[in-house]
C-alpha cells in the first residue's frame, strides 16, 4: 500500500470532521435565531392572560425581538469587519444568554421589553454574521447546502420552542381541570417564564462552539493576513481547492485588502444592482408575513375555531412542516438552483395566503358591531374593565338585536376605542375561556405619552385636543367562534404557506443575501439589507394585533399575499442563478453587465 494513501485518508477525514463541526456551530446560530422568533408563540397566550398588557403592548413585546434585530443589524456589518466574524459570533451568543434571565425574571412591561430587545439584538447579529461566515468559509459546491443548514436549524429552533409550548399547554390544561381561577392564573404566569428558561442551554453551547472555529479566510485576507488566510482555507479545503480560491481572492480582493483602488466609486452598477436586488428580496421575504404568522400562530388558530390545546398542537405541526420542508429545500437548492425554488415557493405562498384570507373573510362577515352597547358600559369616561363571560356576551347580543344568531358561549369580542385622533384596540377574547384576562379600555393606553410619540402614532393628529377629548368606542366587534373544522382548514392553509416558504424563500433568502453582495460591500451591504428586512418585520409584528382588531384577520393575509406577488415578479424577471458559482464569479457576472 502506498504510504500517501493513509495520509490522504486522514486528511479527508480531518476535512470532513472540521466542516461538519463548522456547520454544527453555525447551525446552532440558526437554532438561536429560530428560538428568538418562535419562543414567543408558545408563551404569548399565557403572557397575554397574566400580564394585563394591552394589545398594542403585546404586539410591541412580540416585535421587540425584531426591533432589537434592526438596531444590531445596523452595526453588525461594521462590527464584523472591525472585530472579525468569529468574535462577533461569540458576542451574539453571550447577548442571547444574558437576555433569558432578564425576560424570565421580569415584572412589568419595561423589563420584559428590554429583555426581548436584547434577545433581538442577538438575533440581528447572528442573522448577519453566521450567513456571512458560512459564505466566506465554505467551498462553492457546498455553500448552498451549508447555508441551508443555518435555515434548517433555525426551523428546528422554532420546532423546539413549539414543543416546549405544547408541554406547558398540557400542564395548563391539567391545572385548569383541578384548580381554581387563582391557581390557574399563577400557573400560567409561571408557564411563560419557564418557556424562556428552557431556551438557555443552546446559547451556551453556541458560545463554546464559536470559540473553537477558525476565522473567515476572506476577512483575514482583507486585513492583510495572507498566511493565516491560507491556513484557514486549508482547514476546510484540499490544498488544490485552497490554492485556487486563494488566487481568486488575490485577484478580486487585493484592491480592498491593500487599498490600491480606494477611489473606486461605490455608486456603480456592479455594486448597486446586486445590492438593490438583495434589498428587494429581503424586503419581500419578510413582507410575506412569515415572522408574524409564526409569532401569532397560536392566537390565529384559536381565533379560527381551535381550542387552546388544539391550537398549540396546530402550532407544533406548523413548525414541523417548516422543519421538514426546509430539508426538501436543502436537497434541491444546489440541484435546481435558487431562482427556481424562489419562483415555486412564492407561487405557493400566494395561493395559500389567499385561501386563508378567504377562510377568515367568510366567518368575519357574520360579525356585528356592538359599539353602542359597550359605550353605555363606559360610565366613568376614563376606563372600562369588561370580563367577557357568556352572560355578558348574551347581553351584548340582545342589545344589538343579534340574539339567536350566535351562541353566547362561543363568541369573541375585540374593542377599538379612541381619544380624539388617537386610537387603540384590545386583543380578541373568547367567551368560552374562563381564565381570560378582562378587556381593558383605558385613556392611558390610547393617548400618546408626549408629542414625539404622538407624531409616530398619528402624524396628522391633534395632540392637545386629544388630551381633553372623551373616550369613545369606535367598534366592538362581536363575532362567532368558528367550528373546529374551520380551524383545521385554516391550519391546513397555514401549513401550505409554511411548506412553500420553507422550501423556497426560507432556504434561498440567506443565500441571496450573502451571494449577491460584492466583496467590497458584502458585510455592510448585508447589514443594510437586513435592516430593511427587520424594519418591515418589526412594523408588521407591531401592528398585527391592532390591525386585525380593526380590520380582521382576512385583511392582513390579503396584504401579505400582495407583497408576495412583488416577490414572485422579482425572482421571475430580475434574479440571476448563482448555483455552483464562487463568490468571485457572481461578482464578475454583475461587473460584466456594466
pLDDT in tens for each of the 594 residues of the chain? 454 555 556 667 777 777 778 778 777 877 887 777 677 767 777 887 777 776 667 777 877 777 787 778 777 777 888 888 888 989 988 998 998 999 888 887 888 888 888 988 888 888 778 877 877 776 666 666 666 677 777 778 878 877 887 788 788 878 877 877 778 788 888 888 888 888 888 888 888 888 888 887 777 877 777 788 777 777 767 777 777 777 766 766 554 444 444 445 555 666 677 778 888 888 888 899 888 888 788 778 888 888 777 887 888 888 889 888 888 887 887 778 778 888 999 999 999 999 999 998 888 888 888 888 888 887 766 778 888 888 888 888 888 887 778 888 888 888 888 888 888 777 778 888 776 778 888 887 778 777 766 776 777 778 888 888 888 888 888 888 888 888 899 999 999 999 999 888 888 876 766 677 666 666 667 667 777 777 787 788 777 777 887 788 889 999 999 999 999 998 888 777 766 566 666 666 666 654
Helix (H, G, I), strand (E, B) or coil at 407: coil
Q: Do 91 and 157 belong to one domain?
A: yes
Q: 293-315 b/e with 16+ CB inside 10 Å = b?
A: bbbbbbbbbbbbbbbbebbbbbb
Start-end of H helices in 179-268: 181-198, 200-210, 217-222, 226-236, 239-258
- Reported residue count of the chain is 594
The pLDDT of residue 579: 64
At which of 480, 509, 530 does a domain end? 480
Q: What are phi and psi of 27, to 5 degrees?
A: -65, -35
Helices then strands, counting H and E runs in the chain, come out as 25, 7
The pLDDT of residue 585: 64
Q: CA-to-CA distance for 508 and 312, rounded, in angstroms? A: 28
Contact present, 548 and 479 (Cβ < 8 Å): no
The pLDDT of residue 215: 83
Q: Do 322 and 343 belong to one domain?
A: yes
Instruction: Give the predicted TM-score (pTM) of the model.
Output: 0.67
DSSP, res 406: B
Helix (H, G, I), strand (E, B) or coil at 425: strand
Contact present, 323 and 50 (Cβ < 8 Å): no
Assigned domain for 239 exists = no
Beta bridge partners of 415: 476
Q: Do 80 and 199 belong to one domain?
A: yes
Q: Do 467 and 492 belong to one domain?
A: no
Q: Do 323 and 276 belong to one domain?
A: yes
Q: CA-to-CA distance for 578 and 556, rounded, in angstroms? A: 33
Q: Do 274 and 166 belong to one domain?
A: yes
Rg (C-alpha) for the chain, rounded Å, is 26
Contact present, 128 and 81 (Cβ < 8 Å): no
DSSP, res 214: P
DSSP, res 469: S
Q: CA-to-CA distance for 199 and 161, rounded, in angstroms? A: 8
> Strands 429-430, 471-480: parallel, antiparallel or unpaired by DSSP?
unpaired
How many Cβ atoms from other residues are within 10 Å of residue 209's Cβ? 20
Got the DSSP string for 475-544?
EEEEEEPPPHHHHHHHHHHHHHHHHHHHHTHHHHHHHHHHHHS-GGGHHHHHHHHHHHHHHHHHHHHHHH
Let me know the angle formed at the C-alpha of 543 by 542 and 549, rounded to the nearest 5 degrees.
Answer: 130
- H or E element, residue 556: helix 553-573
**Per-residue three-class SS string for 85-142:** HHHHHHHHHHHHHHHHHHHHCCCCHHHHHHHHHHHHHHHHHHHHHHHHHHHHHCCHHH
Q: Do 504 and 573 belong to one domain?
A: yes
Q: CA-to-CA distance for 97 and 207, rounded, in angstroms? A: 9
Say which residues have a Cβ less than 8 Å from residue 449's Cβ, sequence separation at least 6: none
Q: CA-to-CA distance for 304 and 3, rounded, in angstroms? A: 68
How many Cβ atoms from other residues are within 10 Å of residue 532's Cβ? 18
Closest to 423 (Cα-Cα) out of 387, 364, 469, 386: 469
Q: CA-to-CA distance for 528 and 524, rounded, in angstroms? A: 6
The pLDDT of residue 49: 74
Structural domain containing residue 156: 9-213+265-361+487-592
Assigned domain for 259 exists = no
Assigned domain for 585 exists = yes
Q: Do 145 and 284 belong to one domain?
A: yes
Contact present, 465 and 420 (Cβ < 8 Å): yes
Assigned domain for 236 exists = no
Q: Do 419 and 543 belong to one domain?
A: no
Let me know the angle formed at the C-alpha of 511 by 255 and 502, rounded to the nearest 5 degrees.
Answer: 170
Contact present, 66 and 117 (Cβ < 8 Å): no
If one counts the domains in the chain, the total is 2
Say which residues have a Cβ less than 8 Å from residue 116's Cβ, sequence separation at least 6: 40, 61, 64, 65, 68, 99, 103
Assigned domain for 349 exists = yes
Contact present, 185 and 50 (Cβ < 8 Å): yes
Q: CA-to-CA distance for 64 and 271, rounded, in angstroms? A: 32
At which of 428, 452, 480 does a domain end? 480
Got the DSSP string for 436-456?
PPPEEEEHHHHS-SSHHHHHH
How many Cβ atoms from other residues are within 10 Å of residue 146's Cβ? 24
At which of 480, 498, 525 does a domain end? 480
Q: Do 398 and 344 belong to one domain?
A: no
Say which residues have a Cβ less than 8 Å from residue 109's Cβ, sequence separation at least 6: 51, 53, 57, 61
Task: Estimate to the nearest angstrom the gap between the alpha carbon of 257 and the chain centroid.
Answer: 35
Q: Do 174 and 58 belong to one domain?
A: yes
The pLDDT of residue 381: 63
Assigned domain for 426 exists = yes
Q: CA-to-CA distance for 466 and 449, rounded, in angstroms? A: 11
3-state helix, strand, coil in the chain (%, to 5): 75, 5, 20
Q: Do 495 and 453 belong to one domain?
A: no
Q: What are phi and psi of 382, to 5 degrees?
A: -120, -30
Assigned domain for 39 exists = yes
Task: Estimate to the nearest angstrom the gap between the alpha carbon of 80 and the chain centroid.
Answer: 22
Instruction: Indicate which CATH number applies to the domain containing 569.
Output: 1.20.1250.20
Q: CA-to-CA distance for 539 and 550, rounded, in angstroms? A: 16
Q: CA-to-CA distance for 458 and 28, rounded, in angstroms? A: 41
Assigned domain for 251 exists = no
Amino acid at each position: 500500500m502506498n504510504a500517501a494513501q493513509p495520509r490522504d485518508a486522514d486528511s479527508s477525514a480531518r476535512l470532513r470532521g472540521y466542516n461538519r463541526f463548522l456547520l454544527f456551530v453555525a447551525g446552532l446560530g440558526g437554532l438561536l435565531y429560530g428560538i428568538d422568533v418562535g419562543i414567543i408563540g408558545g408563551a404569548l397566550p399565557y403572557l397575554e392572560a397574566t400580564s394585563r398588557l394591552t394589545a398594542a403592548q403585546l404586539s410591541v413585546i412580540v416585535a421587540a425581538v425584531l426591533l432589537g434585530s434592526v438596531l444590531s443589524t445596523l452595526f453588525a456589518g461594521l462590527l464584523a469587519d472591525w472585530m472579525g466574524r468569529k468574535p462577533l459570533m461569540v458576542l451574539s451568543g453571550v447577548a442571547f444568554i444574558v437576555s433569558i434571565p432578564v425576560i424570565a425574571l421580569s415584572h412589568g412591561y419595561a423589563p420584559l421589553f428590554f429583555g426581548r430587545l436584547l434577545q433581538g439584538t442577538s438575533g440581528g447579529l447572528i442573522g448577519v454574521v453566521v450567513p456571512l461566515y458560512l459564505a466566506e468559509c465554505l467551498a462553492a459546491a457546498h455553500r448552498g447546502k451549508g447555508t441551508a443548514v443555518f435555515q434548517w436549524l433555525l426551523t428546528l429552533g422554532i420546532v423546539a420552542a413549539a414543543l416546549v409550548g405544547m408541554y406547558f399547554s398540557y400542564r395548563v390544561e391539567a391545572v385548569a381541570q383541578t384548580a381554581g381561577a387563582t391557581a390557574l392564573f399563577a400557573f400560567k404566569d409561571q408557564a411563560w417564564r419557564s418557556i424562556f428558561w428552557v431556551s438557555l442551554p443552546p446559547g451556551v453551547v453556541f458560545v463554546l462552539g464559536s470559540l473553537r472555529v477558525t476565522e473567515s479566510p476572506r476577512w483575514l485576507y482583507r486585513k492583510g493576513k495572507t498566511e493565516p488566510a491560507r491556513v484557514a482555507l486549508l482547514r476546510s479545503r484540499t490544498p488544490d481547492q485552497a490554492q485556487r480560491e486563494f488566487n481568486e481572492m488575490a485577484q478580486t480582493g487585493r484592491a480592498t485588502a491593500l487599498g490600491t483602488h480606494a477611489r473606486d466609486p461605490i455608486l456603480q452598477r456592479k455594486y448597486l444592482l446586486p445590492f438593490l436586488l438583495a434589498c428587494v428580496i429581503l424586503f419581500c421575504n419578510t413582507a410575506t408575513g412569515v415572522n408574524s404568522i409564526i409569532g401569532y400562530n397560536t392566537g390565529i388558530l384559536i381565533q379560527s375555531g381551535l381550542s387552546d390545546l388544539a391550537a398549540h398542537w396546530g402550532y407544533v405541526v406548523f413548525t414541523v412542516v417548516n422543519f421538514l420542508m426546509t430539508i426538501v429545500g436543502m436537497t434541491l437548492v444546489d440541484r435546481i438552483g435558487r431562482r427556481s425554488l424562489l419562483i415555486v415557493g412564492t407561487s405557493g405562498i400566494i395561493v395559500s395566503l389567499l385561501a386563508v384570507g378567504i377562510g377568515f373573510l367568510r366567518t368575519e362577515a357574520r360579525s356585528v358591531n356592538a359599539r353602542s352597547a359597550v359605550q353605555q358600559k363606559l360610565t366613568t369616561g376614563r376606563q372600562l374593565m369588561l370580563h367577557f363571560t357568556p352572560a355578558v356576551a348574551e347581553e351584548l347580543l340582545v342589545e344589538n338585536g343579534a340574539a339567536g344568531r350566535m351562541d353566547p358561549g362561543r363568541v369573541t369580542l375585540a374593542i377599538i376605542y379612541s381619544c380624539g385622533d388617537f386610537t387603540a384596540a384590545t386583543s380578541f377574547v373568547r367567551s368560552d375561556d374562563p381564565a381570560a384576562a378582562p378587556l381593558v379600555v383605558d385613556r392611558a393606553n390610547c393617548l400618546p405619552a408626549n408629542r414625539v410619540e404622538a407624531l409616530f402614532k398619528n402624524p396628522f393628529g391633534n395632540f392637545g385636543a386629544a388630551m381633553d377629548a372623551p373616550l369613545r368606542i369606535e367598534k366592538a366587534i362581536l363575532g362567532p367562534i368558528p367550528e373546529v373544522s374551520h380551524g383545521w382548514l385554516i391550519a391546513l392553509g397555514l401549513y401550505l404557506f409554511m411548506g412553500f416558504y420553507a422550501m423556497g424563500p426560507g432556504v434561498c433568502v440567506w443565500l441571496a443575501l450573502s451571494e449577491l453582495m460584492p466583496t467590497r460591500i458584502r458585510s455592510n451591504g448585508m447589514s443594510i439589507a437586513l435592516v430593511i428586512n427587520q424594519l418591515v418585520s418589526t412594523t408588521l409584528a407591531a401592528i398585527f394585533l391592532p390591525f386585525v382588531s380593526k380590520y380582521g384577520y382576512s385583511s392582513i393575509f390579503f396584504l401579505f399575499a400582495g407583497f408576495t406577488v412583488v416577490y414572485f415578479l422579482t425572482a421571475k424577471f430580475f434574479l440571476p442563478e448563482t448555483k455552483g458559482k464562487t463568490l468571485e464569479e457572481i461578482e464578475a457576472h454583475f461587473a460584466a453587465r456594466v
